[in-house]
Amino acid sequence: MSSASPASLVFPPGFTFGTATASYQIEGAYDEDGRGPSIWDTFSHTPGRTEGGATGDVACDHYHRYPEDVELLSRLGVDSYRYSIAWSRIQPQGTGAVNEKGLDFYDRLTDSLLAAGISPAVTLYHWDLPQALEDRGGWRVRETAEHFAEYTRVVVDRLGDRVGRWITLNEPFCSSFVGYAEGRHAPGVRAGTPALAAAHHLLLAHGHAVQVLREAGAREVGITLNLDRIEAASSSPADQAALRRAETLHNEVWTEPLFAGRYPTGEAETWGTLADGSYRRDGDLDIIGAPLDFVGLNFYRPLTVADAPHREADLSLRTAMDIGVVETDPYGTRHTTMGWPVVPEAFTDLLVDLDKRYPNLPPVYITENGSAEADTVSADGSVHDADRVTYLQDHLRALVGAIDAGVDVRGYYCWSMLDNFEWARGYGQRFGIVRVDYDTQERTPKDSYHWFRELIAAHRAAHPATEQEH
Ligand code: IFM
């Protein structure tokens, strides 16, 4: 076990601690109980799309093993657990007929969490669009946003009496730009304008869902974004302009409509001829910008960019949008197995800058943070993941720095509760604080799990009289 002590990390009374997962990454049971196929089934079953041909067919078999997983959460002592709903379990065709067995599963999961004193935080969309909707245009078309509202109504009607915290979308950047421009994620399309349309329709879907959730009396409603802390590789005018374009792509596409009621000011310069705006309608910004109770932020790593005079170099940025920007790596720090540099201070800077920039920024929950490491199982069966413990400790310290600087951060969800299907990277990337042996499905809490448990216990001991979530 690492010697890193959780006691030095002091969080405000009432601060929420949790862990997070997502449906396709852990559930398995891909064709059971009436679940329809999603774009990730199609994508992962297409040769060459994922490392080692990995699929989510079985994943962590959480669909069957959720009682054991809830027990692990309970022993961890979390206040809250963030999980996502698979749309195609609820509506196999994405619209119309409802699959009661799918709803029953989330009913059982939600009830077991509540019985264990854990407050549910539900993400409605974590990338697994029903394939039937993709066949009708997916996020490229406006109708998908309307179907999302219908699906939201079905879910909130069933779970709304027990779920307090609702997250409409997880990381729409990935669902639009990584899925429709870079093609590294499902549905694996590589096209510019459709990706911009997808981004807009995702925001619209979010806005419609907020309205549905409000009508249903939901207590807390928000969205989760993976905003980036971006720096320019140099002070040259070309790199500074590249920085502005990257800010538009990664951050302002989301933050400007959501928190400032406008489209990004730099979009003409960024998109050039890619954007035709035909997918926008009068009134959309009002729907998208409806007030939120919180914004969820996922943070893993910072980004440095430079101008890419030869635009084909753009392919090395995380999206293939042709905006003349290339990613560089000036960080002389450790990198996780994802190849991501570990720079905790960027976490503080991102939060402080965001807070300064948007006076209307709602309270923040960190809905994901964690690291993929090359964990090994020791002879005694334990997993001494010291690098992950250090990562978590340093990022939590950076978070305390942001709170001390005045940012209203209400909670932190560690990614991830379990090792799981890391999308195109398959099962080689282990983010869990609990190890999953994919041959036996045995779960082994890692040192990071024990460390996080101590942190939560120390927090409770410091604030014994505070009303926790449950
Ligand atoms: O595993 C993903 C998750 O699904 C979304 N946020 C980033 C994680 C790590 O890549």
Q: Which residues contact 64 (CB under 8 A, 6 or more apart)?
A: 28, 29
CA of 464 to the centre of ligand 1 (A): 33
State the residue for tokens 């320019």. 232
Per-residue tokens: 108: 């059982």
Nearest CA to ligand 1 atom 9: 422
Considering only CA atoms, which residue is closest to atom 1 of ligand 1?
Answer: 422
Tokens of 360: 């209307």
Pocket of ligand 1 contains residue 125 by CB under 6 Å: no
Atom of ligand 1 nearest to the CA of 415: 8
Asked whether 304 and 328 are in contact (CB, 8 A), the reply is: yes
Query: Which residue from 416, 427, 433 has its CB within 8 A of the most atoms of ligand 1, so it is best to mutate?
Result: 416
Burial call 140-160: b when 16+ CB within 10 Å, e when fewer: bbbebbebbbebbbbbbebbb
Ligand 1: which residue has its CA nearest to atom 4?
Answer: 22
For 11-112, strand residue ranges (E) read 16-20, 80-84
- Distance between Cα 38 and ligand 1 center (Å): 18
**Measured distance CA(200)–CA(196) in Å, rounded:** 6
Ligand 1 within 6 A of CB of 322 = no
**Which residue among 84, 171, 391, 433 is best mutated to probe the pocket of ligand 1, counting the most ligand atoms within 8 A of its Cβ?**
171
Q: How far is CA 291 from CA 170, 207, 223, 384, in A?
A: 18, 10, 11, 43
What pLDDT, on a 0 to 100 scale, did the predictor assign at position 4?
Answer: 58
Verify whether ligand 1 is closer than 6 Å to residue 422 (CB atom). yes
Q: What is the pLDDT of residue 313?
A: 45
The pLDDT of residue 2 is 41
Strands 303-307 and 325-328: antiparallel
DSSP state of 418: B
328: left (phi over 0), alpha (psi -120 to 50) or beta: beta
C-alpha 77/C-alpha 469 separation (Å) is 12
* Predicted pLDDT of residue 295: 99
Task: For residue 230, give the nearest of 195, 205, 255 by alpha carbon.
Answer: 255
413 lines ligand 1 (CB under 6 A): no
Separation between Cα atoms, residue 446 and residue 136, nearest integer Å: 43
Cα(310)–Cα(403) distance, rounded to whole angstroms?
Answer: 41
For residue 172, give the nearest of 153, 185, 163 by alpha carbon: 185
Q: Evaluate whether 154 touches 110 at the Cβ level (below 8 Å).
A: no
Q: Where are the beta strands (DSSP E) in 69-118?
A: 80-84
- Catalytic residue positions? 171, 368
- The reply to whether ligand 1 has any atom less than 6 angstroms from the CB of 415 is yes
Evaluate: CB of 385 within 6 angstroms of ligand 1.
no
* Closest-lying ligand 1 atom to the alpha carbon of residue 226: 6
Question: The tokens of 312 are what?
Answer: 């084909």
Given a cut of 70, the residues of the chain with pLDDT beneath it are 1-4, 310-321, 466-470
Atom of ligand 1 lying closest to residue 127 CA? 4
CB under 8 Å to 113, separation ≥6 — which residues? 70, 73, 81, 119, 120
Measure the CA angle with vertex 367, ends 58 and 341; round to 5°: 85
- Report whether residue 366 contacts ligand 1, using a CB cutoff of 6 Å: no
Which residues on adjacent β-strands are paired with residue 445?
434
Q: Assess whether the C-beta atom of 371 lies below 6 angstroms from ligand 1.
A: no
3-state secondary structure of 434: strand
Cβ of 368 below 6 Å from ligand 1: yes
74 Cα to the center of ligand 1, angstroms = 23
Domains and their CATH numbers in the chain? 6-462 (3.20.20.80)
Judge whether 348 and 405 are in contact, CB under 8 Å.
yes
Q: CA nearest 165: which of 81, 259, 78?
A: 81
Atom of ligand 1 nearest to the CA of 416: 1
Closest ligand 1 atom to 25 CA: 4
Ligand 1 atom showing the smallest separation from residue 174 Cα = 5
How far, in Å, is the centroid of ligand 1 from the Cα of 422?
7
**90 close to 122: Cβ distance less than 8 angstroms:** no
Per-residue model confidence as pLDDT tens digits over 315-342: 445 555 678 888 999 999 999 999 999 9
Kindly state if the Cβ of 336 falls inside 6 Å of ligand 1: no
Residue 27 Cβ inside 6 Å of ligand 1? The answer reads no
Spacing, Cα 215 to ligand 1 middle (Å): 30
Name the residue with the closest Cα to ligand 1, atom 10. 422
* Ligand 1 atom with minimal separation from the 298 CA: 6
Would the CB of 95 count as within 6 Å of ligand 1? no
The structure's pTM equals 0.97
